[in-house]
Structure 1
């Protein structure tokens, strides 16, 4: 490895600000382009509107994201902007901007939180900037942020839980930061139950840390004589305090968040509603008969089956965009408006390869976890980063193996974050290498990811495309 070259604090802050402003611009630009309900907005906007009108209803997910969308609608209606496109699809006249703007703002923070996690892991500003850049260049996160859906809330809250969890491992005031982490983990579970996967990642890290300590004890390794990494620090914390902050605090938050919903829907109690939600998901089948874009967890790794959120065809650029009904057939001169919920293909494929490389690196350097043997490939104080990324990737992906209901590509978003962070970690190492070939590989990787993001941006933003331009971006039949 060559001598590390870190961006100065000033350049680091400028880089983070640029990531945020770029993400913000892409999420707000043309936010009201489709004056309709896009994909699951047909549910979430209506449910949010029900809270505002005090109309009882049943929802198959916890209520927090609908509270937030409702707050966004209320605030959006107080502002004299974004009223160019208005519809009454929810039962009252609402501007599309009013029910989408808060999601757009929320999604803009995800690259910053990813960068903060990367910095807490490595204390390297270069790694933080690369990880934040990759998060900003992910098309699926861009699409999910531009509509009144709930996945950006789940991912952001789960990542905030992980961020404060890491901050607790580096702070003497660990109990405070761990309590804040527990609140965010509870918030993630209050969006969807699979928000618990982020908390599962923290539990698994605790289990791994103690397993490593036990093996070191059995081997009488001197590594146990002092705290070496934040992973080792995890075994030094009071288990009772950890249990309170990472079990009781999330549970209490989850229970309290249901109070407004229960007051609106008094016919069922808290536990009865949880049983109804479970029964609802058990009734949902799988396969194309349930939904044409159902996919399997294995297919997410290579992004085999993205989801078309919006698709309409017009006969010219000047023609109004249809907001309902089946799409018109494509004829010469047709213009296609398509919003595809798909990741940046290059980023996702490279990130999947990075996970394989990290698994190989962990196996090759496994002895360094248990003994004082120095690794020739990864420094001992870096190996724990590999463990952290792989554990959280597994925690956000493997629980889906047992799920039998119809699931979609966006359920991979939690795992995809840690995969892209793994790729960013490798790229940062290559940039720091004394070998020119590795530095070139890093530059080419970053460049290809950014080029791919720009190339597929029209189907992230729903920009008009001619037929040949649309087909140029649909590389595989399963993408259509």
Structure 2
């Protein structure tokens, strides 16, 4: 059996991870059979794509396009009256027709996040070079309660994280292949980053990968201060990388504007008279309509962002939270709840945004350790134990720190799920820090080290299961709820 496992290990680990991800994200993902949080917006927007209705939103349209594709493929709501979805940007339970199914709208997020786990495994395997360690730390993405809640919904994070992990995997593959970095590599990375930004603009953090790719590509010229060679390469790589980013982003908007050929309920979103006239003439796929519509969409997104209120922690029911509290999962958000009686006992089913504390706290510890390692190297001159791993740690720590510093500059209210992107960076970094500390033992396949990594993955799963009532809306009593209120700063709110 052991020989069989070793023989097929190349396929067993990713296949096992994919199966776990599909089960964790996908089982009964149509439940709860009701709207929560941004589904009220995104399902309405996705339906407008299906019906060819013009609309504007604060986020780019790719995520809603993919939700619409899932609903079109499933076609599970065929024959139901969904006209109310086109009359508003925010639907409520009263707008949902009887017999409505959420499976189609949520499908893109579920399936894409499940397959994104393969990218996670690929990233870790290429850097660390050990399948078991890569698989063990990949489970942190599968069994994080916050990631699962958003991946099982018609929201944007699961879709965007697929493109983020795809971008990171491609970057890792190119830089670890041992082959020369070509202009085509910059272009393909630009395509993936463009798709990421076309879901949510905070994906622009991945533009730093272009800088890192250039650093790897031209490290020999950087070390020798060959400014002429560096400038020549920049002239080639900057357009090779940035034009695909811009091209993909604009292409998504071109189709969004083109298919928005109908105005419903006089909802014009303050569009210019020129754009409205082109819609009425049926010329939405013209270059004139694209140019005019793009300006109107960009203006709408800008005005919407300016109108979002600031964080007010004194406001009753404030769901927003400060950036500094995110790594500790503060503050959690109660997305929805329902109360019922089971065998004479009153229980409540919750859909709660709360992270797996083992994943989040361990990821934070990894960032602290990596910062200490970086300081010890560049301030105190301590030598690296493994130069390649050290540089990867520097890279992912930089992505994490720059994202968090950027968020600190934003004045509008932000929410805990905005931390999911740096959480991915931190989880990858954690696996690298572990591999850096136990590098010799991993290379020797030390049983104690491998057992410890496996035990950590089991602990992650056990704590995920403990908090799973918040993830899968499993009914629990008030006492069972309070058993899960580990920290006051989570600000969990029990329903009595």
For the superposition of Structure 1 and Structure 2, which TM-score range results when normalised by the shorter chain?
Answer: 0.7 to 0.9
Residue 280 (structure 1) aligns with: 304
Q: By how many angstroms is 1:251 displaced?
A: 0.4
Aligned counterpart in structure 1 of residue 482 of structure 2, from 471, 475, 479: 471
Question: C-alpha deviations, 1:342-369, integer Å up to 9, x for none?
Answer: 221111001101101011112223389x
Give the SS at the match of 2:350.
Answer: strand
* Alignment of 1:411 onto 2:403: no
CA shift in 2, pair 1:204/1:342, >3 Å: farther
Contact map agreement 2:311 2:414 (CA 8 A) in 1:
no
Q: How does 1:68-217 map to 2 (within 5 A)?
A: 68-77=66-75, 89=95, 94-169=100-175, 170=177, 171-172=179-180, 174-199=182-207, 201-205=208-212, 216-217=223-224
Deviates more, 1:110-119 or 1:432-441: 432-441
Residue 259 (structure 1) aligns with: 254
Q: By how many angstroms is 1:8 displaced?
A: 4.3
Q: How does 1:270-349 map to 2 (within 5 A)?
A: 270-288=294-312, 289=315, 292-316=318-342, 333-349=345-361
Contact map agreement 1:204 1:391 (CA 8 A) in 2:
no
Q: By how many angstroms is 1:450 displaced?
A: 2.4
Residue 85 (structure 2) aligns with: none
Aligned counterpart in structure 2 of residue 358 of structure 1, from 357, 367, 370: 370
Distance in 2 of aligned mates of 1:210 and 1:182: 16
Extract unaligned runs of 5+ from structure 2.
79-92, 262-274, 277-291
Q: By how many angstroms is 1:429 displaced?
A: 4.6
Give the SS at the match of 2:75.
Answer: helix
Q: In the comparison of the two structures, how many residue pairs are matched?
A: 434
Question: C-alpha deviations, 1:307-329, integer Å up to 9, x for none?
Answer: 22221211227xxxxxxxxxxxx
Give the SS at the match of 1:45.
Answer: helix
Contact map agreement 2:323 2:408 (CA 8 A) in 1:
yes
Contact map agreement 1:45 1:99 (CA 8 A) in 2:
yes
Contact map agreement 1:198 1:395 (CA 8 A) in 2:
no
RMSD: 3.2
Contact map agreement 2:371 2:397 (CA 8 A) in 1:
yes
Aligned counterpart in structure 1 of residue 428 of structure 2, from 415, 421, 432: 421
Q: By how many angstroms is 1:242 displaced?
A: 2.3
Q: By how many angstroms is 1:47 displaced?
A: 0.5
Residue 394 (structure 1) aligns with: 401
When the two structures are superposed, what TM-score results if normalisation uses the length of structure 2?
A: 0.79
Distance in 2 of aligned mates of 1:447 and 1:95: 34
Aligned counterpart in structure 1 of residue 469 of structure 2, from 430, 453, 458: 458
Contact map agreement 2:348 2:475 (CA 8 A) in 1:
yes
Question: C-alpha deviations, 1:147-200, integer Å up to 9, x for none?
Answer: 10011111211221222223233344633333221111001111111111122x
Contact map agreement 2:310 2:411 (CA 8 A) in 1:
yes
Give the SS at the match of 1:277.
Answer: helix
Distance in 2 of aligned mates of 1:18 and 1:42: 34
Residue 54 (structure 2) aligns with: 56
Q: By how many angstroms is 1:278 displaced?
A: 1.4
Contact map agreement 2:106 2:152 (CA 8 A) in 1:
yes
Contact map agreement 1:23 1:108 (CA 8 A) in 2:
yes
Distance in 2 of aligned mates of 1:51 and 1:187: 18
Contact map agreement 1:51 1:67 (CA 8 A) in 2:
yes
Contact map agreement 2:161 2:421 (CA 8 A) in 1:
yes
Q: By how many angstroms is 1:244 displaced?
A: 2.4
Distance in 2 of aligned mates of 1:237 and 1:428: 37
Extract unaligned runs of 5+ from structure 1.
1-6, 81-86, 219-223, 225-233, 318-331
